[in-house]
Structure 1
């Protein structure tokens, strides 16, 4: 029997990695007495500057991930996490960090990303936080364990589900409706889906809530249709949800038998209401289906729109392109202020939604194209010439060099860049500098308190 070597060490947290975990380095004498060996430690639930006592198994390895055994010197920004699930649940990583500390870290993250690309970090303003950084999410996706428990994945373990009693980042009505579905599952003894064996009934529960209209969507993802032996359970679900939650305007049962662990549907059953709900942002109305991408923090999303309008300064005689436009979150408020707007998005269902949303809001100066970014820009220019203003809101991976260089050659006078990833934002922005663009300002916005994520709105102008 092999004995695992363990050693108690004291580590000082130097910085946090991209997942929000503490990073420390310890130099240890080698057994042969030669040069010291570097041991890199990843220590979750720690903060910069803290001294931590840890027990390391196999300390002769170069890298280890360990849990903190004792906080020897706590950060003055450390606080008690209010959620009972915090240290296990993967929904949040920083509830042990006071909110002011989180915001400072996010501002520095954006500054460091710009500095790495040779951009001026002094252009970065302080991150705009929330007055109340709790219960801010208007959409949650929960997963069923094989036993039928409903919750979120354990941190770093997508095979284990933490059954939830509450969730402090989800809207309160979302939590109440989720707990009702959980109770329904237990009463009928329904089983969850086993990813390894590819068997079981219930996979996910998606809940959307509009903070403006009050409408709620409950979407249950299962491997079978709500018929036959499942019909009584489905009827009971309809009765209890419609009686207790009159704001649920969309109760869906979606069949997904695919191996992929995603919230997708092969067949959709509308158990009650319609297959979408209405939401509003900045006075504009949007239809949201179960697979519609929409900002999950409406309070801060409104700030993003306001900042984009303030920086972009749209004018009545201007033509504009909204690149990666989605369902028109930015398109609609800008279209109301410019002569003509073209939205470009590769996802066809999002483009159909954007067209419908524009019509619902009586905006008739919009064109929406289901194209990749570069081809879409070319088609718009062939149709009505060069754009005066361009807004870009790419996915987390960024737009990429080819798209940014295409934008640079198109030479819009002003570019508003909305980013959900400071690192790719900085890389993309650097691509525009050789084309005569100057980065004017960068405003970080915290859309996801208690997580590592931070959004930015930035303005670039073409040098005269």
Structure 2
């Protein structure tokens, strides 16, 4: 369980800190209840890390599928990942969603609540009413949470993701699923906006929401519907106002999904239709 893993990892690192300078910024632990796989990710500075000792002690303390070190640089509020090092195991963990196994590696993003993520997928796909001959677009697609189920139902998918490790995970997951109808592009959604006329569109941006230039480009699309998945109601409201002001799309439904029980955080799936 997560609780046992936290205790084991915490105890092991506490023991090791008595004889080594660890300089760990944070620890990420992911456990899949479906695949039973567990990954431990240690976020550290790039230098001065006793990798062999940490790998050995954690290996004795917890049965992890993967133990990795994520190296970061920069000021505390703007740290960036400069490298990922596998300490032991496979270097990734797997999860089952929509009946499909996905391989994921730190620091790629994946929702912490898999059942909730499946509800998001269900709401998005049913809201868009995806058809077999649809040309689809998936912006900020990550490792493929929406891309894979979308590709199973649509004719072709143009997927864009800015974060390199997530793009690599996406391409690996497409191979695992034997899906060859996806163009997976690495880069900023504004700069790498697909040169296609989409029938349906999914956007799942980070907390900052959509950049104005992305909204402008989306508004020029002929798509019959856009599914906007948001983790911040404030930026969602701001972006919906921009769509309405442009006069291209209007929101027709917003469905909250509680992926983070007993917190104020909430995911929303907003369906927009062409005016």
TM-score, structure 1 normalization: 0.54
8 Å contact kept, 2:141–2:147: yes
Contact preservation (8 Å) 2:220, 2:248: no
Q: How does 1:142-181 map to 2 (within 5 A)?
A: 173-181=1-9
Query: Paired residue for 1:427, among 238, 247, 259?
Result: 238
- Which of the numbers 274, 286, 295 marks the counterpart of 2:111? 295
- Per-residue displacement from partner, 1:309-329 (whole Å, max 9, x unpaired)? 110100011101001111111
1:394 match: secondary structure: coil
Match of 1:325 in 2: 141
Counterpart check, 1:226 vs 2:50? yes
Distance 1:259 1:391 in 2: 32
Q: What do residues 56-101 of structure 1 show as CA deviations (whole Å, max 9, x unaligned)? A: xxxxxxxxxxxxxxxxxxxxxxxxxxxxxxxxxxxxxxxxxxxxxx
Shift, 1:438, TM fit: 2.5
CA gap 1:358/1:456 in 2 versus in 1, 3 angstroms: same
- Cα offset, 1:239, TM superposition: 2.4
Shift of 1:285: 1.5
Matches within 5 A, 1:201-220: 201-220=23-42
2:74 touches 2:80 (CA, 8 Å); kept in 1?
A: no
Q: How far apart, in 2, do the equivalents of 1:430 and 1:219 lie?
A: 39
Deviation at 1:442, TM superposition (A): 0.9
Cα gap change, 1:177/1:340 in structure 2, threshold over 3 Å: closer, same or farther? same
Q: Deviations over 1:250-287 (max 9, x none)?
A: 123x274745455946462423x211111111112211
TM-score by length of 2: 0.89
Q: 1:237 aligns with which of 33, 52, 58?
A: 58
**Does residue 180 of structure 2 align to residue 364 of structure 1?**
yes
CA distance in 1, matches of 2:248, 2:72: 51
* SS of aligned partner of 1:300: helix
Contact 1:224 1:255 (C-alpha < 8 Å) held by counterparts: no
Choose which of 395, 398, 413 in structure 1 pairs with 2:224.
413
What is the CA deviation profile of residues 366-387 of structure 1, one whole-angstrom value per residue up to 9, with x for unaligned ones?
001112223322xx32xxx311
For structure 1, list consecutive stretches of 5 or more residues without a partner in the other structure.
1-172, 194-199
Aligned length: 270
C-alpha distance 388-174 of structure 1, shift in aligned 2 (>3 A): same
Which of 204, 209, 223 pairs up with 1:393? Answer: 204
Q: Are the aligned partners of 1:190 and 1:202 in contact in 2 as well (CA < 8 Å)?
A: no
Pairing 1:442–2:258 present: no
**Superposition CA RMSD, Å:** 2.3
Where does 1:21-420 land on structure 2 (aligned, <5 Å)?
173-190=1-18, 201-222=23-44, 224-226=48-50, 231=53, 234-241=55-62, 245=63, 248-252=64-68, 254=69, 256=71, 258=73, 260-261=75-76, 264=81, 266=83, 268-271=85-88, 273-377=89-193, 380-381=194-195, 385-420=196-231
- Larger Rg belongs to: 1
Q: Distance in 1 between matches of 2:208 and 2:74?
A: 25
Seen in structure 2, the aligned counterparts of structure 1 residues 202 and 362 have a Cα distance that, compared at 3 Å, is same
- Structure 2 CA distance for partners of 1:201 and 1:454, relative to 1, 3 Å: closer
- The structural deviation recorded for 1:347 is 1.7
SS at 1:386 equivalent: coil
Task: Return the offset for 1:435.
Answer: 2.9
2:162 and 2:80 mapped to 1: Cα distance?
Answer: 20
1:209 offset after TM fit, Å? Answer: 1.0
Q: Secondary structure at the match of 2:85?
A: strand
Does the Cα contact within 8 Å between 2:55 and 2:87 map onto a contact in 1? no
Is the contact between residue 96 and residue 102 of structure 2 (CA under 8 Å) also seen in structure 1?
yes
Q: Is contact 1:204-1:263 (8 Å) kept?
A: no
Is the 1:221–1:263 contact (alpha carbons within 8 Å) kept by the matching residues of 2?
no
Q: 1:422 to 1:268 in 2, by over 3 A?
A: same
User: Compared with structure 1, are the counterparts of its residues 249 and 389 closer, same or farther at alpha carbon in structure 2 (3 Å cutoff)?
Assistant: same
- Pick closer, same or farther for the CA change 1:269–1:388 going to 2, 3 Å: closer
Structure 2 residue runs without a partner (length 5+): none
